[in-house]
Chain A
Amino acid sequence: MKFAYLLAGGCGGCDMAIVDLSEKLVDALEHLEIVFWAPTVADVKYKDLEAMPDKSIDLGFVSGMVRNKENEHLVKVMREKCKILVAYGICAALGGIPGMANLHSKEELFENAYIKCPSADNPDKVLPSPESEVNGYKLTLPELLDFAKPVSAIVEVDYFVGGCPPHHDHVAKIVEAIVSGNLPPKGSWITDGKSVCDYCPRNPALKGKTRDFIKEVKRMHEGKVDEEECLLQQGYLCLGPVTQGDCGALCTKVGIRCAGCGGPIPPTTDFGLRAISAITSLFENEKVAKQALEKYPVFAKLIYRYCLPGSKLGEKADVLKKRAVVKEVL
């Protein structure tokens, strides 16, 4: 099976999850012939990929979102060359944490990084720019796209994988499913479809209990976390009920709320909206809802932390309008 891997606008964590297959990786490589993973693993150049016949690669993974022209171009090339294209990891699938940039303008991002930055020595308020001149030498830099996009905003994606990054055990299962041809219909997430709660040892259902309403919202540093009780019941805004649980409830096992990196449970597509309705339905009354907004003043960064560019809000092309909508909704 011919395999290609592209790291677009990602952090490398999704790729490290593959490295973490460790010895299993050696076995997987018996089935997968790496034809492109430039320039890290295989010495294949972009133009070699471009020269490959269309649909000549069986399987392609893209990690990371699309942030600049190069990402955009290569994602298109991957689509042409690969029979199956997987948006691997939550950045590729829905935009990921760097997708929160869409809540801010480029000017704001630059101003904070280069001018307001307390350690910056920048009396002339210089900003990195597409073209500049130093001692008579002309230098160029690539421009950012106006906002971050998931892979599916550029090309058709066959499968989606959640997780930031997907846990290596999940990766092993994915590889197995692909190699054995045991795949769901195109357009699906590769998931077992269960929620984080389904895997969580804190799940009240395991003790035959039902959920109570939440009487008080707590931020993660507040109070003492009970080692066994459900975090949501304790008032911590755990997003386990609405998140794909392929990680096996990693965070709640160490007493930290799930922040939703697994992505929405199909058929839900808009993670944030689903999270809001699920959580608020558990609030005992209006007062608790008000408290939640006080404790998390920018609520979008709580519920859309991993999924903004792939959400209904993110789909809107007009960035400014979108920002206004976000402010209004939240």
Chain B
Amino acid sequence: MNKSIEVEPMTRLEGHGKIAIFLDDKGNVADAFYQIVEFRGYETFVRGMPIEEVPRTVSTICGVCRAVHHTASTKASDGVYGVEPTETAKKIRELFLCAHQVEDHAAILYALGLPDFVVGPEADPAERNIVGVVKKVGAEVVKTILKKRFAAVKVLEMLGGKPIHPVAGLPGGWSKRITEEERKDIEELGKEMVELGKITLQVFEDVVLKNEKYLEMITSDQYRVVVNYMGTVKDGCINYYDGIQTVINTKGEVIDQFTADKYLDHVSERVVPWSYVKMTYLKKLGWKGFVEGEETSLYSVGPLARCNIAPPSTPLAKEAYDVMYDTLKEKPTHFILAYHWARAIELLNAAERIVELAQDKEITSPDVRAELGEVKGEGVGIIEAPRGTLIHHYKTDDKGIVTEANMIVATTHNHAPINLAIKKAAQHFIKNGVVDDKLLNYVEIAYRPYDICQACASHVLPGRDSLEVIIYDSDGEVVRVLRNF
């Protein structure tokens, strides 16, 4: 029996991902609920704060997503002061965010995504982690990877002040300019990150794509969730920092486009009593519940969503992108395990973009702060975080003191699709009252591609989340509890 599966009496320990599965009277899955069980309340405690203090404060919503809340709220603060940041400031912010994409995608892939494949999805969970990866690919390769990932951390510290929970974003720009010396360093570090991107795609090709069994698993029906997708597009390509919010339907047709300030007309969040995190849907289509397929009003965000919408802007990443779609033979692709692949492609894309930006003459200009205008009192900032679209929205009084705040994080956009993914996996592995012992493994595999950042609502690390699956029979009695913690 697999070690990760526990049948335990119900002791009420809380603070982890929780899945409730309900069986019908034949013992098949009737319904499944993925619940996020923690709550912080950032929208309230930034009230009364000056807007320029907000970015460094809301950054602590999540320490894994160490740069994203800072960047999105800094963009929102531009709006509050009715100011357009200088070109150099925009480039610095983009470079900064790209460094985070590299750092985070690397951490997530090596600690969380790849172990499933490198070590094998059915391997003992004790091996199915970073330690197992070290054994499989060798300590030297891992050290090289760690070192190259650290190149991104260096850039984050150089530009953001603190390597985690940065402080340099200000309305209208950035508090720090880049000197020529720093620019050269960043260019070199960027090149290391490009190497990291190439290595990562190579590892992916060697262990996943050359293994027919895995390819079959990636393209199997229980890991296919058909929904719409949202991402940010600029000049026809993916952009993490800026652009137009673009939504495609399940067939790949653009069905909605909007700019940050109009987000309330396009997305809405359904509140449910059984999770601390809300569920978004496309407002135009209306709330239709947890349905997939052409009819759905749900959408996903994140690496695969972005790839489904537009190609990366840089040459090496574009090559890898073409390979992915040629292999999967479906575009948009709804195979959720391809999220990991898309993540590797984006890592390379962000790294290439860092080198491009570091080679841009304008990046060292001292012109990093625009003159602030009158307080407009409202601003919305949207960026693409590693896990997907992130929205920060603030209202202030006439002095720029926050009166209202709203944040929609990637995990919220993905909450309902994850629910669908989990239900599908559960339906596949629970039949006529027989619960497959590997259920927990496969349920984990079904939700891990989204790299749920519970931290953005609660907390989680780049690793395996603590997860509890409770199965109820048709009388509402608990029949099994499975845990990985």
Which residues of A pack against B, CB within 8 Å?
A: 7, 9-17, 19-20, 22-23, 25-26, 38-41, 43, 45-47, 64, 67-71, 73, 96-98, 100-101, 103-104, 108-110, 112-114, 116-122, 126-129, 132, 134-139, 141-142, 144, 164-165, 167-168, 219-221, 224-225, 247, 250-251, 253-256, 259, 261, 295-298, 301-302, 305
Q: Judging by beta carbons under 8 Å apart, are B273 and A127 in contact?
A: yes
Q: Specify which chain B residues have a CB less than 8 angstroms from the CB of A135 in the assembled complex.
A: 31
User: How far apart are B238's CB and chain A's nearest CB, in angstroms?
Assistant: 24
Further contacts, 6 of them, CB under 8 A, given A43-B4, A165-B165: A13-B164, A121-B287, A164-B165, A221-B81, A250-B161, A251-B161
A7 to B485, CA, bound (A): 13
Q: Specify which chain A residues have a CB less than 8 angstroms from the CB of B466 in the assembled complex.
A: 38-39
Q: Judging by beta carbons under 8 Å apart, are A12 and B461 in contact?
A: yes
Q: Judging by beta carbons under 8 Å apart, are B45 and A296 in contact?
A: no
With A119-B408, A251-B161 in contact, is A41–B129 under 8 Å at CB? Answer: yes
Q: Specify which chain B residues have a CB less than 8 angstroms from the CB of A167 in the assembled complex.
A: 162-163
Q: Specify which chain A residues have a CB less than 8 angstroms from the CB of B48 in the assembled complex.
A: 297-298, 301
* B68 in the interface (beta carbon within 8 A): no
Can you list 14 A-B contacts (CB < 8 A)? Answer: A7-B459, A19-B462, A20-B150, A25-B146, A39-B484, A120-B268, A137-B31, A141-B35, A221-B372, A221-B400, A254-B168, A259-B53, A296-B50, A297-B401
Q: Judging by beta carbons under 8 Å apart, are B14 and A68 in contact?
A: yes
Q: Specify which chain B residues have a CB less than 8 angstroms from the CB of A14 in the assembled complex.
A: 63
Q: Specify which chain A residues have a CB less than 8 angstroms from the CB of B6 in the assembled complex.
A: 45
* B62 in the interface (beta carbon within 8 A): yes
User: How far apart are A100's CB and chain B's nearest CB, in angstroms?
Assistant: 4
Q: Judging by beta carbons under 8 Å apart, are A139 and B33 in contact?
A: yes
Which residues of B from 11 to 40 have beta carbons under 8 Å from A?
Answer: 12-16, 20, 22, 31, 33, 35, 37-40
Q: Specify which chain A residues have a CB less than 8 angstroms from the CB of B263 in the assembled complex.
A: 119
Residue of A nearest to B408 (CB): A119
With A22-B146, A119-B264, A141-B35 in contact, is A256–B56 under 8 Å at CB? Answer: yes
Q: Specify which chain A residues have a CB less than 8 angstroms from the CB of B464 in the assembled complex.
A: 39-40
User: How far apart are B346's CB and chain A's nearest CB, in angstroms?
Assistant: 19
Q: Judging by beta carbons under 8 Å apart, are B485 and A20 in contact?
A: no
A220 to B176, CA, bound (A): 13
Q: Of the candidates B35, B273, B404, which one forms a contact with A126 in the assembled complex, judged by CB atoms under 8 Å apart?
A: B273
Q: Of the candidates A64, A68, A122, A137, which one forms a contact with B476 in the assembled complex, judged by CB atoms under 8 Å apart?
A: A137
* B113 in the interface (beta carbon within 8 A): no
Q: Judging by beta carbons under 8 Å apart, are A128 and B272 in contact?
A: yes
User: How far apart are A72's CB and chain B's nearest CB, in angstroms?
Assistant: 10
The stretch among B274-282, B303-311, B322-330 that forms the contact with chain A is B274-282
A126 to B171, CA, bound (A): 35
User: How far apart are B35's CB and chain A's nearest CB, in angstroms?
Assistant: 7
A10 to B60, CA, bound (A): 9
* B99 in the interface (beta carbon within 8 A): no
A44 to B43, CA, bound (A): 35
User: How far apart are B409's CB and chain A's nearest CB, in angstroms?
Assistant: 12
Q: Judging by beta carbons under 8 Å apart, are A126 and B170 in contact?
A: no
A16 to B453, CA, bound (A): 14
Q: Judging by beta carbons under 8 Å apart, are A12 and B125 in contact?
A: no
Q: Judging by beta carbons under 8 Å apart, are A11 and B455 in contact?
A: yes
Q: Judging by beta carbons under 8 Å apart, are A220 and B393 in contact?
A: no
What is the interface of chain B mostly: helix, strand, loop, or mixed? loop
User: How far apart are A228's CB and chain B's nearest CB, in angstroms?
Assistant: 14
* B191 in the interface (beta carbon within 8 A): no
Q: Judging by beta carbons under 8 Å apart, are B161 and A12 in contact?
A: no
Q: Specify which chain A residues have a CB less than 8 angstroms from the CB of B383 in the assembled complex.
A: none
Q: Judging by beta carbons under 8 Å apart, are B406 and A12 in contact?
A: no
Q: Judging by beta carbons under 8 Å apart, are A101 and B50 in contact?
A: no
Residue of A nearest to B177 (CB): A227
User: How far apart are A82's CB and chain B's nearest CB, in angstroms?
Assistant: 19
Q: Of the candidates B13, B160, B165, which one forms a contact with A73 in the assembled complex, judged by CB atoms under 8 Å apart?
A: B13
* B445 in the interface (beta carbon within 8 A): no
A310 to B269, CA, bound (A): 35
Q: Judging by beta carbons under 8 Å apart, are A16 and B53 in contact?
A: no
Residue of A nearest to B13 (CB): A70
8 nearest interchain CB pairs? Answer: A13-B63, A40-B463, A142-B14, A298-B48, A109-B41, A132-B273, A70-B15, A254-B161
Q: Of the candidates A64, A116, A220, A255, which one forms a contact with B53 in the assembled complex, judged by CB atoms under 8 Å apart?
A: A220
Q: Of the candidates A70, A101, A132, A137, which one forms a contact with B40 in the assembled complex, judged by CB atoms under 8 Å apart?
A: A101
Q: Of the candidates B31, B40, B126, B161, which one forms a contact with A98 in the assembled complex, judged by CB atoms under 8 Å apart?
A: B40
A43 to B485, CA, bound (A): 8
Q: Specify which chain A residues have a CB less than 8 angstroms from the CB of B450 in the assembled complex.
A: none
* B49 in the interface (beta carbon within 8 A): yes
Q: Specify which chain A residues have a CB less than 8 angstroms from the CB of B455 in the assembled complex.
A: 11-12
A220 to B270, CA, bound (A): 37
A134 to B472, CA, bound (A): 14
Q: Judging by beta carbons under 8 Å apart, are B162 and A247 in contact?
A: yes
Residue of A nearest to B484 (CB): A39
Q: Judging by beta carbons under 8 Å apart, are A254 and B31 in contact?
A: no
Q: Specify which chain A residues have a CB less than 8 angstroms from the CB of B50 in the assembled complex.
A: 219-221, 295-296
A169 to B399, CA, bound (A): 38
Q: Judging by beta carbons under 8 Å apart, are A101 and B167 in contact?
A: no
* B107 in the interface (beta carbon within 8 A): yes
With A23-B146, A98-B60 in contact, is A220–B170 under 8 Å at CB? Answer: yes
Q: Judging by beta carbons under 8 Å apart, are A139 and B20 in contact?
A: yes
* B369 in the interface (beta carbon within 8 A): yes
* B271 in the interface (beta carbon within 8 A): yes
User: How far apart are A202's CB and chain B's nearest CB, in angstroms?
Assistant: 13
A132 to B33, CA, bound (A): 12
Residue of A nearest to B283 (CB): A121
* B193 in the interface (beta carbon within 8 A): no
* B175 in the interface (beta carbon within 8 A): yes
Q: Judging by beta carbons under 8 Å apart, are B372 and A12 in contact?
A: no
Q: Specify which chain B residues have a CB less than 8 angstroms from the CB of A219 in the assembled complex.
A: 50, 52, 400
With A46-B485, A119-B268, A135-B31 in contact, is A113–B44 under 8 Å at CB? Answer: yes
User: How far apart are B273's CB and chain A's nearest CB, in angstroms?
Assistant: 4
Q: Of the candidates B44, B172, B372, which one forms a contact with A108 in the assembled complex, judged by CB atoms under 8 Å apart?
A: B44
Q: Specify which chain A residues have a CB less than 8 angstroms from the CB of B56 in the assembled complex.
A: 256, 259
Q: Specify which chain A residues have a CB less than 8 angstroms from the CB of B162 in the assembled complex.
A: 167, 247, 250-251
Q: Specify which chain A residues have a CB less than 8 angstroms from the CB of B275 in the assembled complex.
A: 128, 141
* B66 in the interface (beta carbon within 8 A): yes
